[in-house]
Amino acid sequence: MQENPAPRAVWSSKLGFILAASGSAIGLGNIVFFGANAYKYGAGAFYVPYLLALFFVGLPFMAMEIGLGLRFNRALPESLHLIAGRRGEFVGWWGILNASVITTYYIAILGWVVGMLIGAFGPLWKPSLAVPAFNMAEGAIPNPFAYFFNMLSTPGTLLFVVLAWVLNIIIVWKGTLTIEKAVKVCVPLMWVFMLILIVRGLTLPNGSQGVRLLFTPNWGVMRNPDVWKGAFGQIFFSLSLGFGIMTAYASYLPKKSDCNSNAMMVSFLNCGFEFIAGVAIFTILFSLSIVPKASTLAMSFFVLPSGIARFPYGVATFGVMFFTLLLLAGISSSVSLVEALASSVIDKFRISRIRALLFVGSGGVVLSLLFALPMVVDASLKDNGTLGLTLLDLSDHWAFGYGLLAMGLAESILIGWVLGAGKLRETMNANARIRLGPWFDVLVRFVAPAVVLAVIVASIAHEVKTGMYGSRMVTGWRPMAAVVLLAWLLFTSGGAFLLSAPQKGKGVRA
Ligand code: TRP
């Protein structure tokens, strides 16, 4: 292997990497999805599949993705090219494109966070106005639900989405340099806000009952394959695995870095944050006896805000803090993929960073706007309400629910069998204080792929039995579910096929 001819940026310190990588891992997933998933899948019982997923799949994949970046010093597609030629590169691009789908709707959601944050300074807490598009009458008390859907059906919201993209591009403008500056502010602040919210939650009357619920197991639900898919999907998403992010970030680490301790640090920071976020959310929900309907977006956009609206004092202050927290957590995540995508494009096409960013940014804005389309397709709100939200929900089902797991499976096969798990383990152990033994190879070659495959197969079987996701939606254009599935497959697979084609005179020099 030749050295990469372009000098590669490096993090200015180990702390820079840890902040950036944990900033990527800690995101909306930790605050919003974890609580909602845990609630949906039987609260306490969710911890068993969750912890199994963390130890058997999460930690090993985190270490592997960081190890890849350290070994090859490149973004994911080129790293996998060095392992398995064009087929490997195809897998790498597939993962990056799948993650890009997630990123575009994630950034659309961040646009809504911006909208709600602005609302939290005042209008959100006023008695609610009528929302004719959704047949909602005027109300005497604040109604974040009405506020949110009113915002979603208003074209002005598209501006917030553009703004969220602009923020992302500004942060990755100079790569590690600007990312490091941003995460040094965002990540610590996010912890502070979270701790304040926990204290608030625990000191609410009956707050501790929420904690009890969070830890009361309900074993019955564990027979449902959805719970396992939920737990494994949550671990991949939450740790930013299967996105190509950790490999890109680790490629900016100095060669002598300790792979295993970095992997553990990032994973534990992430899961620790998730854990305390669960406590904060459950205390608020249960003190104010709101039983969440478990839809993930609902949780952050109106279930929790309705709780905050009933705080005895400081409603606007806590509300602003909550949405700022979501924005900080979300943006330090989304920038990591914008960076992973940009660095893959730069590595492949050898174009300048500015051109790569303009290209990624303009394509991304268009897709994000699609997910924010304000047309009301279901005024009864039995499904999703607006066209954008419906598209988002369907895309999320494939890109998050299946795409990340499929990437995990492909990575473990490429690393475990094609490269040889032992070889990567050598790189990972090279400067590590905690060295991994040969058991790791067994984990990577057999256990991880088998478990991930089992989860995928069980989910598909479930889907075949109950009908394809979205096909029984009450409203809207019936073929939409199938069209979104096809569009996702075409975008990821077709795109990966084109991107992994050799570049004349510019391809990977292996
Ligand atoms: N780990 C993030 C979370 O828990 C998700 C995430 C990381 C992400 N990077 C991303 C989502 C890039 C979209 C784009 O929320």
Model confidence at 299, in pLDDT bands (50, 70, 90)? confident
- Taking the centre of ligand 1 as the mean of its atom positions, its distance from the CA of residue 248, in whole angstroms, is 14
368 CB within 6 A, ligand 1: no
What confidence score (pLDDT) does residue 224 get?
A: 80
What confidence score (pLDDT) does residue 421 get?
A: 96
Domain ranges of the chain: 14-499
Out of 50, 337, 360, 407, give the residue to mutate to test ligand 1, the one with the largest number of ligand atoms within 8 Å of its CB: 337
Output phi, psi for 192, to 5 deg: -60, -50
For residues 509 and 407, give the distance between their C-alpha atoms in angstroms, rounded to a whole number: 24
Model confidence at 478, in pLDDT bands (50, 70, 90)? confident
Model confidence at 145, in pLDDT bands (50, 70, 90)? confident
98 CB within 6 A, ligand 1: no
- Taking the centre of ligand 1 as the mean of its atom positions, its distance from the CA of residue 237, in whole angstroms, is 6
pLDDT at residue 323 tops 70: yes
- Taking the centre of ligand 1 as the mean of its atom positions, its distance from the CA of residue 448, in whole angstroms, is 22
In terms of DSSP H, where are the helices of 371-438? 387-398, 404-413, 421-429
- Taking the centre of ligand 1 as the mean of its atom positions, its distance from the CA of residue 24, in whole angstroms, is 6
What confidence score (pLDDT) does residue 509 get?
A: 45
Least confident piece of the model among 135-144, 356-365, 482-491: 135-144
234 CB within 6 A, ligand 1: no
79 CB within 6 A, ligand 1: no
For residues 452 and 323, give the distance between their C-alpha atoms in angstroms, rounded to a whole number: 34
For residue 32, the ligand 1 atom closest to its alpha carbon is: 15
Out of 33, 167, 247, 334, give the residue to mutate to test ligand 1, the one with the largest number of ligand atoms within 8 Å of its CB: 334
pLDDT at residue 479 tops 80: yes
- Taking the centre of ligand 1 as the mean of its atom positions, its distance from the CA of residue 27, in whole angstroms, is 6
Model confidence at 505, in pLDDT bands (50, 70, 90)? low
pLDDT at residue 293 tops 80: no
- Taking the centre of ligand 1 as the mean of its atom positions, its distance from the CA of residue 327, in whole angstroms, is 12
pLDDT at residue 28 tops 60: yes
pLDDT at residue 416 tops 50: yes
CA nearest to 467, candidates 454, 451, 478: 478
Q: Which two tokens stand for residue 332?
A: 């330090």
For residues 388 and 374, give the distance between their C-alpha atoms in angstroms, rounded to a whole number: 6
For residues 505 and 201, the model is more confident at 201
Model confidence at 321, in pLDDT bands (50, 70, 90)? very high
For residues 445 and 221, give the distance between their C-alpha atoms in angstroms, rounded to a whole number: 29
Q: Which two tokens stand for residue 406?
A: 């499929």
Out of 24, 168, 273, 297, give the residue to mutate to test ligand 1, the one with the largest number of ligand atoms within 8 Å of its CB: 24
25 CB within 6 A, ligand 1: yes
Average pLDDT, integer, range 272-285:
88
Average pLDDT, integer, range 7-19:
89
pLDDT at residue 155 tops 90: yes
23 CB within 6 A, ligand 1: no
For residues 230 and 89, give the distance between their C-alpha atoms in angstroms, rounded to a whole number: 28
- Taking the centre of ligand 1 as the mean of its atom positions, its distance from the CA of residue 297, in whole angstroms, is 15
What confidence score (pLDDT) does residue 506 get?
A: 52
176 CB within 6 A, ligand 1: no
- Taking the centre of ligand 1 as the mean of its atom positions, its distance from the CA of residue 314, in whole angstroms, is 30
Nearest CA to ligand 1 atom 12: 334
Mapped onto helix, strand or coil, the DSSP state of residue 321 is: helix
What confidence score (pLDDT) does residue 394 get?
A: 93
What confidence score (pLDDT) does residue 7 get?
A: 64
391 CB within 6 A, ligand 1: no
Give the burial class of 315: count Cβ atoms within 10 A of its Cβ; 0-12 exposed, 13-18 middle, 19 or more buried: middle
Q: Which two tokens stand for residue 365?
A: 């804005």
Task: Please provide the average confidence, as pLDDT, over all residues in the chain.
Answer: 90
Instruction: Please give the DSSP secondary-structure letter assigned to residue 8.
Output: P
Residue with tokens 């970095």, as numbered in its chain: 262
Query: What is the pTM for the complete model shown?
Result: 0.93
Least confident piece of the model among 60-69, 84-93, 125-134, 324-333: 125-134
For residues 344 and 359, give the distance between their C-alpha atoms in angstroms, rounded to a whole number: 12
Q: Which two tokens stand for residue 383?
A: 């499904």
Residues 6 or more apart from 218 whose CB is under 8 A from it?
42, 43, 44, 45
pLDDT at residue 507 tops 70: no
For residue 335, the ligand 1 atom closest to its alpha carbon is: 12
What confidence score (pLDDT) does residue 4 get?
A: 47
Model confidence at 278, in pLDDT bands (50, 70, 90)? confident
- Taking the centre of ligand 1 as the mean of its atom positions, its distance from the CA of residue 232, in whole angstroms, is 15
What confidence score (pLDDT) does residue 216 get?
A: 80
Distance from chain centroid for Cα 345: 21
Residues 6 or more apart from 251 whose CB is under 8 A from it?
8, 69, 70, 72, 73, 74, 75, 79, 343
Q: Radius of gyration of the chain from Cα atoms?
A: 22
Average pLDDT, integer, range 393-406:
93
Out of 54, 243, 341, give the residue to mutate to test ligand 1, the one with the largest number of ligand atoms within 8 Å of its CB: 243
Mapped onto helix, strand or coil, the DSSP state of residue 136 is: strand
Distance from chain centroid for Cα 465: 28
75 CB within 6 A, ligand 1: no
For residues 496 and 77, give the distance between their C-alpha atoms in angstroms, rounded to a whole number: 10
76 CB within 6 A, ligand 1: no
- Taking the centre of ligand 1 as the mean of its atom positions, its distance from the CA of residue 95, in whole angstroms, is 14
404 CB within 6 A, ligand 1: no
What confidence score (pLDDT) does residue 295 get?
A: 65
24 CB within 6 A, ligand 1: yes
For residues 6 and 164, the model is more confident at 164
What confidence score (pLDDT) does residue 1 get?
A: 41
- Taking the centre of ligand 1 as the mean of its atom positions, its distance from the CA of residue 21, in whole angstroms, is 11
For residue 28, the ligand 1 atom closest to its alpha carbon is: 15
Residue with tokens 């299967």, as numbered in its chain: 242
| CATH number listed for the domain at residues 14-499 | 1.20.1740.10
In terms of DSSP H, where are the helices of 26-130? 28, 34-40, 47-53, 59-72, 76-120
119 CB within 6 A, ligand 1: no
**pLDDT, tens digit, 9 for 90 and up, residues 431-464:** 999 999 999 999 999 999 999 999 899 889 988 9
Nearest CA to ligand 1 atom 13: 103
Apex 121 CA angle, 118 and 126, nearest 5: 105
- Taking the centre of ligand 1 as the mean of its atom positions, its distance from the CA of residue 222, in whole angstroms, is 26
What is the percent of the chain where pLDDT is above 70?
94
Q: Which two tokens stand for residue 218?
A: 């309900």
